[in-house]
Structure 1
Amino acid sequence: MNEDLPLAGIRVFDLTHVWSGPMGTRILAALGAEVLKIENPDRPDILRGNGNDLRLRYPDLDYGDDPRNRNAWFNTQNVGKKSVRLDLKSPEDIEKARRLAATCDVVMSNYRAGVLSRMGFGYEQLRDLRPDIVVVEMTAFPSTSPQARAAGFGAQFDAASGNTWLSGDESGPVLTGFAIGDPVGGMFAAAAVMTGLERRRRTGRGCHVEIPQSEAMMPLFGEQYVLESRGTAGQLRMNGDPTGAPHGIYPTANGQWLALGVHDDGQWAAVAAVMDSAGVTPQPGWETAAGRAGDLERVEAAVSTWLSGITDPDALVAALQADRVPSARVAGPADLFADEQLRDSGFFTELDHPSAGRHPYPGLPLRIDGARTVPDRPAPLLGQHTGEVLGALPHERLTTGEAS
């Protein structure tokens, strides 16, 4: 572990599972924390899979003899962590877990509201063990709300936050992807941990932070709330933007797609020159934003005609970006994996996993003093570090704050 990282020396008792919570603790691990992923021996993190889920999540589409340790999704979200196998319904293991939690600076979970306390690991209970502990609960809904005890999932948060409405058009709402609210919640959770640790540094006190994941996407939509507060509903147009004309994603001649957004008249002048040289003549009046907005349907049609004849979208994007026109070719996973910029910048890290083999793993957009944060270990095998971690615990039995 790099001792120069910001969270070196911080220990995290990780009760998270699936995507949202593990994304948060993945960030903490990247920043140098020792993350102890607590897993039930018979019911571990369901993201590990069991050999009955999608084959595309496994190396070479092969479940192998050890599917719980080969799932690519789990192994990506849990790099840099340790796995400790404990059954938190067993009195013996609960005692071990409480002794372990007392050695940790942070406890994080993404259970429904109230579950952590019923398990005996709520903030009030853990504060008796360690007064300066930081507890972050990623609940589905606020603990004081009518939906407090309801379960939640990423697509549900996508809808409940208003994001599907914002991403849709006149034909209806659109889900933005598979559970995109999960990683957003995870990023808020990581930030909450940092905030709690900073407060502890200043005051010596721990704290309890609750992050309702149903609300995590909402701070991203500020301008929409402003429009609604003024009684002006936002205009919905797929891939459109009220500040851009033209603005969208367009097919090119080679079957790829190109994203283009024009936000001022200077950008339009650059686009118009390239269009004209390709034989698609912009109409008089389109020189101004007001003129383009007032004739948007014909502007979009002309841009679509122009781009449908483009055989080298990468060359066009390079030329447009040189003229400060926001543009990009729509990239898929294979494009990103082969991207020279990502590879040259060290975004991917090759890791040897004892069950899944050697593979490149995507990184995080974090650079500290010019150096990218990279995992120092692959995702753990189920229970891999149980003996190491529990064997280092003090042997006396806890007598304070006993769980009821």
Structure 2
Amino acid sequence: MSAPVPDLAGWAASGALHLTGRADGPPVLGPGDPAGRVAADLATVAAHGHARAARTEDSGERLPGVGVLGERAALLGLTRSGPASCGGAFRTVPTTDGWFGLSLARDDDVALVPALVERPLDDAVGADDADDAWRAVRDWARALTRAEAAGRAALLGLPHAAWPPLPADHREPVETLVGGRRSRVGERPLVVDLSALWAGPLCAHLLGLTGCTVVKVEDPRRPDGARRAPGRFFDLLHAGHDSVGVRLAGDGPGRLLDLLLRADLVIESSRPRALRQHGIVAEELVAAGVSWLSITARGRASDTVGFGDDVAVAGGLAVEDRGQLLPVGDAIADPLTGVRAAAAAAAALAQEHAALLDVSMLHVVRSCLVPAVPPPHVVRRSASGWDLLTDGARHAVLPPRSRQPAGTAAPLGRHDDRWWP
């Protein structure tokens, strides 16, 4: 049997290779075959979309290609910034046996750094800005093993990674629990999107392009953080979707439950206890005939939190280069997971029984690591930019590009009257 061959042409065209490496150096080829995996998953989404279109005479909208991996960077103006992530929130620091990675994307994460390093930040470095927080983390981690550093971060609920990757439970990227018979199998399935940021909304976006009706639900007190992103990234993922607001206090959970019971599919990206405390239990809705897709860092059984860059490194998508560790792409675990989730959801929506789809971002990443070692290659500057040369083939390394958003995303709560009884 011949060894797997990665889709290098797709990877070079996706924008993700262009985003991997140092700001002052060439693009660097990482392990695995992320582009090939994304192309296969998009083909699954398209096949189910075409089947629905044939029944409804609704052609839907064209799905993106592997360029989906670089769209956020294109819209936000991000470039390769190794050894930091493209967005700058994730960095790695040396340990006694490798590297420890940490995402300080939120103010709350920065505020936990003194607890992580076990001393006041101002005593450690003399100030309280993010750069000084990173210096404190670097000083703290250098005397620890990567497992010790990761264990401390996990205890505090900080999004983190260790390299080389630490062992993880063996499981499939998407685990499926079959539930009750669906009471209806509509030709334009209703998808209720409770997720935020990138992976979940990308899944909803792709399903919307295949003819699903998508309703995005947010708590006005804590709206989707992607609404604050520059560029038109939020518009790209949410244009054409209805928007409703619900406060998860008072009678809010009851109103939300009424909407969820009308859905064909619910997408969410929080840990199970977040909704259970409000009386919304995924397993009960699945038993009642509503499919439920849950995206978490390491599966519903884990309390670990994670973002696209740290989960990617924890899963094995990184490059050791000249004594430093470089992340691959831009928060690449997010688009990899969003596309894989859309493929699983599209298949589930074609079934008569509901299903609970438990999607682990970490295991999605790990499933892309075949082959684990990049083939012999060289990256050279060309008149137009950079070229990837391997086995006699030349692939132009394209910068990230984005589709134009189909419109402007609806303001939060614009469609409350349409969906709340």
Could you state the TM-score of these two structures normalised by the residue count of structure 2?
0.53
- CA drift of 1:331 comes to 3.0
Verify: 1:14 aligned to 2:193, yes or no.
yes
Verify: 1:120 aligned to 2:279, yes or no.
yes
Partner of 1:332: 399
Answer yes or no: is the 8 Å Cα contact 2:253–2:280 preserved in 1.
Answer: no
Counterparts of residues 3-402 of structure 1 (less than 5 Å)? 3=56, 4-5=58-59, 8-49=187-228, 57-58=230-231, 72-87=232-247, 89-127=248-286, 131-144=288-301, 148-164=302-318, 167-200=319-352, 205-224=353-372, 234=373, 241-242=374-375, 244=376, 247-252=377-382, 256-263=384-391, 267=392, 325-328=393-396, 330-333=397-400, 336=401, 348=403, 360-361=404-405, 375=406, 378-390=408-420, 393=421
- CA drift of 1:103 comes to 1.0
Answer yes or no: is the 8 Å Cα contact 1:111–1:140 preserved in 2.
Answer: no
Letter in 1 for 2:310: Q
- CA drift of 1:113 comes to 4.2
Letter in 2 for 1:77: L
2: distance between equivalents of 1:109 and 1:12? Answer: 11
User: Which consecutive unaligned segments of at least 5 residues does structure 1 have?
Assistant: 59-71, 225-233, 235-240, 268-324, 338-347, 349-359, 362-374, 394-404
Structure number, greater radius of gyration: 1
2: distance between equivalents of 1:187 and 1:35? Answer: 16
Answer yes or no: is the 8 Å Cα contact 1:113–1:142 preserved in 2.
Answer: no
Partner of 1:315: none
Letter in 1 for 2:292: V
Deviations 1:258-278 (A, max 9, x none): 213231xxx3xxxxxxxxxxx
RMSD: 2.5
Could you state the TM-score of these two structures normalised by the residue count of structure 1?
0.55
Q: How many equivalent residue pairs?
A: 242
Letter in 2 for 1:249: V
1: distance between equivalents of 2:399 and 2:364? Answer: 26
Letter in 2 for 1:326: R
Deviating 4+ runs (over 4 angstroms): 5-8
1: distance between equivalents of 2:379 and 2:187? Answer: 43
**Which structure carries more strand by proportion?**
2
2: distance between equivalents of 1:38 and 1:31? Answer: 20
1: distance between equivalents of 2:194 and 2:59? Answer: 23
Letter in 1 for 2:241: K
Change (3 A) 1:389 1:43: same
Partner of 1:286: none
Higher relative CO (Cα under 8 Å, sequence separation at least 6) belongs to 2
User: Which consecutive unaligned segments of at least 5 residues does structure 2 have?
Assistant: 1-52, 61-185
| 3-state SS of paired residue (1:223) | coil
- CA drift of 1:133 comes to 1.0
